[in-house]
């Protein structure tokens, strides 16, 4: 299945199972996409949560508000726009350099996380990952929960290994539903992710 079609299915699953699900009303979400490099969803102006874009080559300390509240309707709409108004563009690259995305997620939680709030990273990806021991160490030291949805057509990759190295539990490694080469069950797969409840979540998505 080509990358564009796969992403189209994923974005619908995220909107249906997360943004429109009232059980996540008290959760703040962020989004980081990665291929050759990492991009992060953020406001363009601090006082306008509906004016958003994907930003690259930026440190977490220079972001405005990368964690979107689903309680605030304007913030929720800003997060929705990232998925439904062509803010996220699929990459022509087949690279899976998750290293920058992991380091950025860690820094976002340091800059924008709140004490005593449980945190998670949800990784939705396919293919062979490139990462460093340093990035893994930072995530494990912060005790960030890791949930992985592997949507690869070919399971001969290192995604499950990465999940384990990040400290992820076996039950939180989810193999995507592939039906005849078509990824038609995103809502079902996202519903399995949805069973986990966290106050702060960063979605990390291969594009």
Taken in order 69, 72, 73, 75, the sign of the CA dihedral is negative
What's the mean pLDDT in 61-72? 95
How far apart are alpha carbons 71 and 171 in whole angstroms?
A: 29
Task: Tell me the percentage of the chain whose pLDDT exceeds 70.
Answer: 85
* Average pLDDT score over residue span 155-164: 90
Residue 133: the pLDDT is 92
Provide mean pLDDT across the span 187-203: 67
pLDDT number for residue 58: 93
The region that residue 91 occupies, defined by phi over 0 for left and psi between -120 and 50 for alpha, beta otherwise, is: beta
User: Is residue 21 predicted with pLDDT exceeding 80?
Assistant: no
Cβ contact 198:27 at 8 Å: yes
- pLDDT tens for 80-135 read 999 888 888 777 777 788 999 999 999 999 999 887 788 999 998 888 899 999 99
> What is the C-alpha separation between 113 and 127, in angstroms, rounded?
30
Task: Find the range with the poorest average confidence among 24-28, 74-78, 79-83.
Answer: 24-28
- The predicted structure's pLDDT at residue 66: 97
Sign of CA dihedral 41, 163, 183, 192: negative
């Amino acid at each position: 299945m080509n990358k564009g079609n796969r992403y189209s299915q994923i974005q619908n699953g995220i909107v249906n199972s997360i943004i429109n699900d009232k059980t996540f009303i008290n959760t703040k979400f962020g989004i980081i996409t990665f291929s050759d490099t990492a991009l992060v969803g953020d406001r363009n102006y601090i006082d306008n949560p509906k004016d958003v874009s994907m930003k690259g080559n930026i440190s977490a300390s220079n972001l405005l508000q990368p964690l979107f509240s689903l309680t605030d309707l304007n913030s929720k709409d800003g997060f929705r726009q990232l998925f439904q108004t062509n803010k996220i563009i699929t990459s022509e690259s087949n690279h899976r350099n998750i290293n920058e995305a992991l380091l950025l997620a860690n820094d976002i939680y340091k800059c924008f996380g709140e004490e005593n709030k449980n945190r998670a990273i949800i990784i939705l990806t396919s293919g062979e990952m490139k990462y460093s021991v340093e990035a893994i160490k930072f995530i494990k030291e912060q005790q960030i929960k890791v949930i992985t949805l592997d949507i690869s057509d070919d399971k001969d990759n290192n995604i499950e290994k990465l999940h384990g190295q990040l400290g992820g539990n076996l039950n939180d490694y989810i193999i995507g539903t592939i039906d005849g080469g078509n990824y038609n069950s995103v809502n079902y797969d996202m519903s399995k992710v949805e069973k986990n409840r966290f106050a702060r979540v960063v979605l990390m998505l291969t594009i």
